[in-house]
Amino acid sequence: MADNAGEDACTRLIEECLAAAKRLLEEEGQFRPFALTINEKGDTEIVMPEAADGEGTSEQDLEALRADLGAEAAAGSIGAAAIALNAWIHTPDRSSRRDAVIVFAEHHAGLSLQANQIYAIEERHGDVVPAHAVTWEELTVDVVEPSIFAAA
């Protein structure tokens, strides 16, 4: 039963992160790393990195989010968490790279997934809202080593 709960929570977080990322990409054309958590009541909350003032790199944001979420996980205040980031993924032969939203989703029971959502983005011209057209392409989801609940 815990496996299903973990899988359901991770799937929910991946879907919510991808939906939020798509909105940000359509409006801004990019986004800084962010996280979503599920607390003990089952509510989803967004977590922004401490340096959300526009300073710092995506790597610093990612490390700050992992540290913050790790502390919350260790305190038992979250049951699952996901981090979303905007990145490039190289093709297997490394001849080119593609835009992707990467989501790392973890559940306290030990399940840890990485979703790679490849996308195409096109800037729209004129007074069109949203300013960018985002087309989801292939999605892959793999089991990975945990990095948030690792100490649990």
List the chain pLDDT tens, one digit each, 152 residues.
Answer: 345 889 999 999 999 999 999 999 999 999 999 999 998 888 999 998 875 455 678 888 989 999 999 999 999 999 999 999 999 998 888 899 999 999 999 999 989 999 999 999 999 988 888 999 999 999 999 999 998 887 54
Report if residue 136 sits inside a domain.
Answer: yes
Report if residue 95 sits inside a domain.
Answer: yes
Residue 74 structural domain: 2-143
Answer yes or no: are the C-beta atoms of 148 and 133 closer than 8 Å: no
Tell me how far the alpha carbon of residue 67 is from its chain's centroid.
15
Report if residue 152 sits inside a domain.
Answer: no
Number of domains in the chain: 1
Report if residue 23 sits inside a domain.
Answer: yes
Report if residue 114 sits inside a domain.
Answer: yes
Nearest to 111 by CA among 135, 139, 71, 82: 82
Whole-number Å distance between alpha carbons of 104 and 141: 10
pLDDT of residue 51: 57
Element (H, E) at 85: strand 78-90
Report if residue 149 sits inside a domain.
Answer: no
Question: What residue type is 131 in one-letter code?
Answer: A
pLDDT of residue 129: 86
Nearest to 139 by CA among 114, 115, 111, 121: 115
pLDDT of residue 152: 45
Answer yes or no: are the C-beta atoms of 120 and 135 closer than 8 Å: yes
pLDDT of residue 3: 59
Report if residue 148 sits inside a domain.
Answer: no
pLDDT of residue 1: 39
Report if residue 64 sits inside a domain.
Answer: yes
